[in-house]
């Protein structure tokens, strides 16, 4: 897939080895750009590895624009997954899944019908099902369900296994990966980026840098550049449930803000619950009980044999619109930061960022990006 042509005047550094940063680096390398991916641990070690691994364009959002963007990302995921699997050399448990956005009252029905409208508008396969049909699809569902939007076109995978394969594929594409290398600053001279500084005192020269730093973006840009960005850390509490002798679910379910999806390895991911503690979030007994109660209410026939509580982080931006594009005021600094749905949006953020940097093509999303609100203090 390599195209040796590019319009950049030197190497690119991508800070942040989550799924978004990896996709940005992978896409740039595929366009002939020398690129180095930097992470303080390694690809997928942070928020990505603790995600559900869902590529789910509805994602509980009734914003038709966001659903259309998710649909674009889904198509890119399907384009790249076969090559990543072949070159990455391992099975990461990817599977096509159906997602039921369930409703137990008329107010919830209005919301999930809005999701249905957005999915149809984006050309995705989805339909309204009544409560009886929903329970025929998944017998564990509650009798209180009056109906739901059944979305036929989603992907789910083990995020940790995927990221191991993706790192191998990215390196094969030409990406240099610096693991256990913590970025602590950026060197600016003459109004443009010159290098990335590391905690060990070393640095990496670059002509451009992409900050794919997720929940840490606001803090990093404030400390390194003196800029204020409309992005905050968003703490999330999640559960991994062991199936044990329980029958695997026939479809994934989203209800009351909680996604419940059965992975191929026999674990059920249930989440998330917002945790206002942000970076200070720790696995919480209260969140565990609340999430278990949601699972029990919507799937009373499902009984897990084991429970693990996970605290994770994501970025939160106004209207959940990604921060993507060039940072105003300094040449060569770009951002690729999703809002709570990084796994879904990674492929399209990678493509739009690389197209902007190499070919100067601005995706229509950039008109809505909160990046326009950024500026020095």
CATH for 215: 3.50.50.60
d(CA 342, CA 344): 5
The answer on 183 and 326 residing in a single domain is yes
In the chain, % of residues over pLDDT 90: 76
The answer on 311 and 236 residing in a single domain is yes
Report the number of distinct structural domains present in the chain.
2
Give 158's contacts (C-beta < 8 A, 6+ positions apart).
53, 92, 93, 263, 264, 265
What pLDDT score does 4 carry? 40
Q: Is residue 269 part of a domain?
A: yes
**pLDDT over threshold 80, residue 94:** yes
What is the SS3 assignment for 2?
coil
The answer on 236 and 358 residing in a single domain is no
Report whether 208 contacts 33 (CB < 8 A): no
The answer on 238 and 367 residing in a single domain is no
Q: Is residue 119 part of a domain?
A: no
Of the residues 264, 281, 316, which one is the last residue of a structural domain? 316
Q: Is residue 212 part of a domain?
A: yes
CATH for 243: 3.30.9.10
The answer on 237 and 311 residing in a single domain is yes
Q: Is residue 253 part of a domain?
A: yes
**pLDDT over threshold 80, residue 373:** no
The answer on 207 and 275 residing in a single domain is no
Give 56's contacts (C-beta < 8 A, 6+ positions apart).
70, 99, 151, 154, 155, 156, 252, 259, 344
Q: How many CA atoms lie within 13 A of 377 on its CB side?
A: 11
Ordered DSSP codes for 39-95: -SS-TTSSTGGGS--EE-SSTT---HHHHHHHHHHHHHHHHHHHHHHHHHTS----E
The answer on 355 and 236 residing in a single domain is no
Q: E-assigned strands of 243-367?
A: 252-255, 258-262, 267-275, 306-316, 323-326, 333-337
The answer on 182 and 38 residing in a single domain is yes
The answer on 304 and 331 residing in a single domain is no
Would you place residue 60 in the very low, low, confident or very high pLDDT band (cuts 50, 70, 90)? low
Of the residues 271, 291, 316, which one is the last residue of a structural domain? 316
The answer on 186 and 165 residing in a single domain is yes
Range of the domain at 19: 12-49+161-231+318-376
Q: Is residue 343 part of a domain?
A: yes
Mean pLDDT of 68-76: 95
The answer on 325 and 340 residing in a single domain is yes
Q: Is residue 141 part of a domain?
A: no
What pLDDT score does 65 carry? 83
DSSP 337: E
Of the residues 316, 340, 355, which one is the last residue of a structural domain? 316
What pLDDT score does 2 carry? 41
In the chain, % of residues over pLDDT 70: 97
Q: Is residue 69 part of a domain?
A: no
What pLDDT score does 349 carry? 97
What pLDDT score does 6 carry? 52
Give 241's contacts (C-beta < 8 A, 6+ positions apart).
267, 268, 269, 270, 295, 304, 306, 307, 308
Higher per-residue confidence, 341 vs 207: 207
The answer on 322 and 221 residing in a single domain is yes
Query: In this predicted model, what pLDDT tens digit does every residue of 223-252 receive, in sequence order?
Result: 999 999 989 888 889 999 998 777 889 999
Q: Is residue 245 part of a domain?
A: yes
Query: In this predicted model, what pLDDT tens digit does every residue of 139-177 receive, in sequence order?
Result: 999 999 999 999 998 999 999 999 999 999 999 999 999
């Amino acid at each position: 897939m390599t195209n040796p042509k590019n319009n950049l005047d030197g190497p690119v550094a991508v800070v942040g080895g989550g799924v978004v940063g990896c996709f940005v680096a992978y896409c740039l390398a595929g366009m002939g750009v020398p690129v180095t991916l930097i992470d303080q641990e390694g690809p997928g070690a942070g928020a990505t590895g603790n995600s559900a691994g869902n590529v789910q364009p509805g994602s509980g959002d009734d914003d038709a624009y966001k659903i259309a963007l998710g649909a674009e990302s889904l198509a890119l995921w399907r384009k790249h997954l076969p090559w990543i699997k072949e070159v990455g050399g391992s099975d990461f448990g990817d599977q096509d899944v159906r997602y039921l956005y369930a409703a137990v009252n008329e107010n919830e029905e209005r919301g999930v019908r809005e999701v249905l409208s957005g999915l149809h508008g984006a050309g995705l396969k989805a339909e309204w099902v009544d409560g009886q049909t929903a329970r025929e699809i998944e017998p564990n569902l509650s009798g209180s369900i009056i109906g739901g939007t059944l979305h036929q076109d989603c992907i789910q995978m083990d995020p940790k296994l995927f990221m191991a394969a993706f790192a191998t594929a990215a390196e094969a594409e030409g990406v240099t990966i610096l693991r256990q290398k913590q970025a602590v600053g950026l060197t600016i001279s003459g109004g443009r980026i010159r290098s990335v500084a590391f905690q060990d005192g070393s640095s990496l020269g670059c002509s451009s840098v992409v900050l794919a730093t997720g929940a840490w973006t606001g803090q990093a840009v404030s400390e390194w550049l003196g800029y204020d960005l409309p992005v905050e850390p968003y703490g999330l509490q999640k559960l991994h449930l062991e199936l044990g002798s329980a029958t695997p679910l026939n479809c994934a379910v989203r209800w009351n803000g909680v996604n419940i999806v059965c992975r191929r390895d026999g674990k059920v991911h249930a989440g998330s619950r917002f945790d206002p503690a942000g970076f200070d979030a720790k696995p919480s007994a209260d969140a565990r009980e609340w999430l278990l109660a949601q699972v029990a209410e919507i799937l009373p026939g499902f009984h897990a044999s084991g429970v693990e509580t996970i605290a994770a982080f994501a970025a939160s931006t106004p209207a959940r619109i990604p921060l993507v594009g060039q940072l105003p005021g300094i040449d060569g600094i770009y951002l690729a930061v999703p809002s709570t749905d990084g796994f879904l949006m990674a492929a399209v953020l990678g493509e739009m960022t690389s197209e902007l940097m190499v070919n100067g093509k601005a995706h229509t999303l950039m008109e809505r990006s909160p990046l326009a609100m950024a500026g020095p203090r």
